[in-house]
């Protein structure tokens, strides 16, 4: 093992591996290693400039017991503020916060650490396996498992567990699964797997294991801090923070699957105006187009988009349209894009990546020519009409088969970089809309990666079922997305997939979901509402008329009793506008999410680290959603302090669990006094 102080960075060389640990922001390190001659030097998520840090590198020796005697072996340390890394002669890295061990790489072979651990297993901390026929490697990185530790963040996984300790998480993007590989530890550190490769992480009881299926470098970032709020501050300082969210989008967004015509959109907007309900955004969903990849309105049903947009704007309503990355072979853009190499390539078999309602190949947003091409088409056919925003659906992308080893982008194989696809897709629109200079960019996406928060992404939780079980999962999904640095997060109110809108059980779910959504970042009605007994507009197998539409999904669509509840909660949302604006300002300035884990506001309360069925909406409101059918009361834990139940005005002293009523008209919310 050889160590070098490279202008304040610690370099280490061992058996063909080159490693580098360098200060990267406050109390933080970036750690890289490679088996190649040099690093790729891709920043991945670490895109923000960081100030030069006053680091200290020490290269020396330590005692190592061989079994019968002690010998001197090389070792080195690097310190940046409160965090210190120690590298021993076998290349095992240990991290300390204020000289207390917080994380250590896992090594079970002779020459690891001076301990009683087994030395004969030949398990190393960083295992590189060359991929035959490629200059890439499969990387397996292991860490010791800290007993009693809890792990949060990591994006969005549809499961009932908020604490990821003991979980296996696929590092891959899917519809409703979002890999944002930043973990927040209860031990006071944050860890970013700064690698967009498809892989897996296991937060096991015996060890933690990060796997990249195809990569050139190991790359991770670690920070030390006392509270989750400080950890998020450090993390977003190096990966970027969300822009300031526009005030005129903090109210209701109206959507359904799907408004089929220009007149349907306008009639809904006019009805809302008659009802005295201001909607901030109306959403035009999929198959308003001719075929996928044409990226334009079907003129038969949308004869004058400019006039439609102008009328909506006159009512103070902004307009967002759905854009998919799939290009049908029938599209006027397929031939030119295929010829110019602007679509995803397959390694074997036919050129097809998506098969919903057409034989499609999806775009390659890693290619700057693709980004230019798609923007020019969408600018001409949407943006120049006054369309305000883009709903970038299927942004994982949604492959017909998730065989990642069969797809390739211009920057490399999908196995190596696919997790960045949604971010690159969003930048087709974000980068160009910023150039247009029309205020903060806000687009809607179904997926994200580390750092996506800085590209105007409102991320929603995907096509989830309309069940109470799925609803309960969304609570931990929203909390963990916020802890992964994504503050602009939302869901389809009521879930996406509904068989019968008249089912009283569904309507109860809808109300409970709606009440929760009022206390989330983006308040948005959407869903695929059955039964599907509305005939198509025409019998073509393409265009805006052949696709199904769901039942009405406006606030008044579910009967007078439900409308009264939704109208009341709409008024609550509007009354909180100044408060919500403050929360968005915090997200912009320090990275804090709007929807916060209980421990985010009360890190010194052990009970708050156990709770996942209640949360804080900012620092003021404790929200206790109703997550079961026919549940009309629930227990709520109140941290120390004084709390007011907003439904009755009754005050409570915290530090205990209380049981409160929750009739269908009310979701328990406590105001912190």
Q: Which residues are catalytic?
A: 393, 396, 463
Per-residue HEC secondary structure of 498-530 comes to ECCCCCHHHHHHHHHHHHHHHCCCCEEECCEEC
- What separation in angstroms does the CA of 644 have from each of 619, 627, 669? 14, 22, 8
What distance in Å separates the CA atoms of residue 301 and residue 287, rounded to the nearest whole number? 11
Query: Which element (helix H / strand E) includes 186?
Result: none
The rounded radius of gyration (Å) of the Cα atoms in the chain is 26
- 8 Å CB contact between 139 and 147: no
Whether the ω angle into residue 258 lies within 30 degrees of 0, i.e. cis, is yes
Number of H helices, E strands in the chain: 12, 41
What distance in Å separates the CA atoms of residue 175 and residue 316, rounded to the nearest whole number? 32
Query: Torsion angle, CA of 591/53/449/603, rounded to 10 degrees?
Result: -40
What distance in Å separates the CA atoms of residue 670 and residue 673, rounded to the nearest whole number? 9
- What separation in angstroms does the CA of 487 have from each of 445, 480, 631? 13, 10, 29
What distance in Å separates the CA atoms of residue 102 and residue 30, rounded to the nearest whole number? 16
105 SS3 class: strand
What distance in Å separates the CA atoms of residue 93 and residue 180, rounded to the nearest whole number? 24
- Look at strands 633-638 and 168-171 and give their pairing: unpaired
Q: What is the DSSP letter of 4?
A: E
Which string of b and e fits 408-440 if b means at least 16 CB within 10 Å?
Answer: bbeebbbbbbbbbbbbbbbbbbbebbbeeeeee
96 SS3 class: strand
Which tokens in the block code for residue 559? 């009967």
- 8 Å CB contact between 103 and 189: yes
In 364-503, alpha helices (H): 368-381, 414-417, 421-436, 468-483
Residue 17, classified by CB atoms within 10 Å of its CB into exposed (0-12), middle (13-18) or buried (19+), is middle
In 355-467, alpha helices (H): 368-381, 414-417, 421-436
What distance in Å separates the CA atoms of residue 592 and residue 604, rounded to the nearest whole number? 18
């Amino acid at each position: 093992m050889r160590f070098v102080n490279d202008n304040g960075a610690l370099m280490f060389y061992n058996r063909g591996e080159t490693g580098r640990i360098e200060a990267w922001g406050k109390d933080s390190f970036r750690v890289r290693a490679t088996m190649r001659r040099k690093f790729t030097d891709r920043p991945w998520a670490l895109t923000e400039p960081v100030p030069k840090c006053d680091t200290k590198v020490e290269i020396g020796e330590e005692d190592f017991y061989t079994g019968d005697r002690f010998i001197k072996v090389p070792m080195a340390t690097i310190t940046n503020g409160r965090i210190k890394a120690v590298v021993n002669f076998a290349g095992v890295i240990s991290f300390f916060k204020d000289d207390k061990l917080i994380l250590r790489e896992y090594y079970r072979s002779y020459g690891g650490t001076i301990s009683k651990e087994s030395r004969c297993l030949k398990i190393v901390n960083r295992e590189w396996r060359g991929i035959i026929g490629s200059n890439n490697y499969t990387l397996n990185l292991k860490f010791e498992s800290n007993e009693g530790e809890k792990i949060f963040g990591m994006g969005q996984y549809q499961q009932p567990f908020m604490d990821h300790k003991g979980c296996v998480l696929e590092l891959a993007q899917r519809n409703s699964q979002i890999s944002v590989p930043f973990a927040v530890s209860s031990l006071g550190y944050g860890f970013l797997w700064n690698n967009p490769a498809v892989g897996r992480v296991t937060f096991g009881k015996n060890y933690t294991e990060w796997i990249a299926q195809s990569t050139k470098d190991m790359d991770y970032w670690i920070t030390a801090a006392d509270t989750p709020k400080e950890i998020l501050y450090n993390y977003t300082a190096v990966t970027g923070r969300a822009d300031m969210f526009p005030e005129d989008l903090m109210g209701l967004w109206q959507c359904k699957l799907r408004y089929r015509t220009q007149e349907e959109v306008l009639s809904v907007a006019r009805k809302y105006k008659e009802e005295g309900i201001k909607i901030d955004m109306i959403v035009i969903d999929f198959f308003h187009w001719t075929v996928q990849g044409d990226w334009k309105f079907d003129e038969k049903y949308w004869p004058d988009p400019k006039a439609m947009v102008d009328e909506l704007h006159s009512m103070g309503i902004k307009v967002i349209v759905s854009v998919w990355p799939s290009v049908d072979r029938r599209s006027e853009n397929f031939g030119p894009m295929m010829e110019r190499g602007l679509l995803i390539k397959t390694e074997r078999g036919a050129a097809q990546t998506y098969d919903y309602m057409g034989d499609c190949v999806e775009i390659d947003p890693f290619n700057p020519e693709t980004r230019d091409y798609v923007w020019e088409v969408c600018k001409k056919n949407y943006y120049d009409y006054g369309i305000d925003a883009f709903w970038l659906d299927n942004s994982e992308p949604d492959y017909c088969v998730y065989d990642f080893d069969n797809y390739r982008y211009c920057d490399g194989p999908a196995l190596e970089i696919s997790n960045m696809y949604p971010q690159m897709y969003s930048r087709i629109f974000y980068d160009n809309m910023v150039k247009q200079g029309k205020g903060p960019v806000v687009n809607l996406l179904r997926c994200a990666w580390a750092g996506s928060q800085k590209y105007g992404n409102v991320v929603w939780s995907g096509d989830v079922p309309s069940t109470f079980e799925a609803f309960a999962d969304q609570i931990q999904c929203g909390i963990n997305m916020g802890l992964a640095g994504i503050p602009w997060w939302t869901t389809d109110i009521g879930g996406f997939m509904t068989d019968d809108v008249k089912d009283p059980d569904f309507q109860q779910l809808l109300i409970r979901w709606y009440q929760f959504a009022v206390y989330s970042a983006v308040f948005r009605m959407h869903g695929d509402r059955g039964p599907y007994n509305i005939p198509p507009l025409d019998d073509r197998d393409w265009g805006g008329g052949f696709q199904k539409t769901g039942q009405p999904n406006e606030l008044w669509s579910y009967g007078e009793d439900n409308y009264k509840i939704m109208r009341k909660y709409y008024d609550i949302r509007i009354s909180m506008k100044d408060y919500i604006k403050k929360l968005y300002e915090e997200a912009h300035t320090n990275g804090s999410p709007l929807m916060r884990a209980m421990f985010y506001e009360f890190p010194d309360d052990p009970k708050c680290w156990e709770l996942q069925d209640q949360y804080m909406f900012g620092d003021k409101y404790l929200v206790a959603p109703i997550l079961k059918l026919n549940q009309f009361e629930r227990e709520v834990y109140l941290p120390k302090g004084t709390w007011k139940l907003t439904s009755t005005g009754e005050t409570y002293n915290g530090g205990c669990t209380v049981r409160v009523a929750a009739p269908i008209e009310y979701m328990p919310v406590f105001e912190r006094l």
